[in-house]
Chain A
Amino acid sequence: MKIIYHCYGGSHSSVIAAALHLKLIEKHRFPTAEEIMAIPYYDKTDDSDFGSIRFMGIDESGNEVYVLGRKGMSEKYNNLLNDIAAILGEKENLLTAECLNRVNISMKLGGFLSRRAGFIFPGRAVVLKGTQAAFMALVNLVESVRLKTLNKVE
């Protein structure tokens, strides 16, 4: 199965969720700033990455995990991804997860400053703080996605 975590920029919340899913970071404790910055794609994307479905890894069940930045088109993109999979007869082979609803104001502000406005130094500090604050909400999201993958397989 293919699992796509998506958020506004595909740079913060979706990347953390994918990293949690792939166990690149532990879910039982808050990651340090260094651990977060070591995650591929975290706060490293630019405008050309919008719309690109980027591979993050394969989980222990053989599911491929991807991240995607889709700007403000949340519901539309959920529908789009699932409709395209259905058109191709692959509906059961795709799971999408919206991450932006787990994000706090610090992640939004820091992400904007770092990725959109180009103020990497203050932006990155704010988004890292926000990521740590939103961590448990993202853990919950990933756990619900893991449950869904089990249901889909069954």
Chain B
Amino acid sequence: MKIIFLGTTAVHAALVAAYIYMEKLDKRDLNNINGVGDVYLEAKNKVLFIGTDQNGNDVYTFGAGRELLMVKKTIEDLRNLLGYKKDDLKVVIITTPGDRILAWLLKIPLILGGQNIARQLSVLVLSKYFDLLNNTIAQLKSSISTSPG
């Protein structure tokens, strides 16, 4: 299965959620996450491959801005018209109350050290919502394990 974590950006809450899901975070230290708050990575506007979980599922993130539901609908429509099912590709929306601040951090001018500032402040903000993301992923895992088939 392919799992896409859809966030306001691809490099904040969705990325942390992906790492929690893959159980690749040793502690709560979000500094260990590759690409967290990365301005350049987000600017690529691409679906980012994050890794593979223990069951062989490929995990991705994508930044949909404010249009999370619209983008989810499009991905699911495309999946269906290409002949695939829910079990082949799953889209999970990840939101936190800090999403607007996190998106704003990407707008800090690079000339003012935007990349470093954005990364450090992103880690700070995301740490605050770690428990929320942890709970979201716990619910997701239980829904995947209890879903038929």
A25 → chain B closest CB, angstroms: 24
- How far apart are the CA atoms of A81 and B47 in the complex, in Å? 9
For B, the interface residue count at a CB cutoff of 8 angstroms equals 26
Stretch at the interface among B29-37, B61-69, B92-100, B124-132: B61-69
- Nearest-CB residue, chain A, relative to B80: A53
Given contacts A51-B67, A73-B65, contact A88 B74 (CB under 8 A): no
- Evaluate contact between A83 and B79: CB separation under 8 angstroms: no
Q: Is the CB of A51 within 8 A of B70?
A: yes
Contact of A53 among B46, B81, B89 (CB under 8 A): B81
B62 touches A52 (CB 8 A): no
Nearest A residue to B60 via CB reads A87
Among A53, A79, A85, the most chain B Cβ lie within 10 Å of the Cβ of: A53
Binary flags per residue of A54-87, CB closer than 8 Å to B gives 1, else 0: 0100000000101010110101110111011101
Known: A66-B81, A88-B82, A94-B78. 18 other contacts (CB 8 A): A51-B69, A51-B74, A52-B77, A70-B70, A71-B70, A73-B65, A73-B67, A76-B65, A79-B47, A80-B74, A84-B47, A84-B89, A85-B82, A88-B2, A88-B84, A88-B88, A88-B89, A93-B82
Report yes or no: B81 in contact with A2, Cβ–Cβ below 8 A: yes
Q: Please tell me if the beta carbons of A79 and B74 are within 8 angstroms of each other in the complex.
A: no
- Knowing A68-B74, A87-B89, A88-B89, say if A94 contacts B45 (CB, 8 Å): no
Contact partners of A83 in chain B: CB under 8 A:
46-47, 62
**A41 at the A/B interface (Cβ < 8 Å)?**
no
Nearest first, the 4 A-B pairs at minimum CB distance are A51-B70, A83-B47, A51-B73, A53-B77
B78 touches A53 (CB 8 A): yes
Contacts A79-B45, A87-B60, A88-B2 known; A70 to B74 CB distance under 8 Å?
Answer: yes
Chain B residues near A76 (CB, 8 Å)?
A: 45, 65
Interface residue? A50 (CB, 8 A): yes
CB < 8 Å: which of A55, A80, A90, A93 contacts B75?
Answer: A80
B71 within 8 A of A: yes
Closest-CB distance, A51 to chain B (whole angstroms): 3
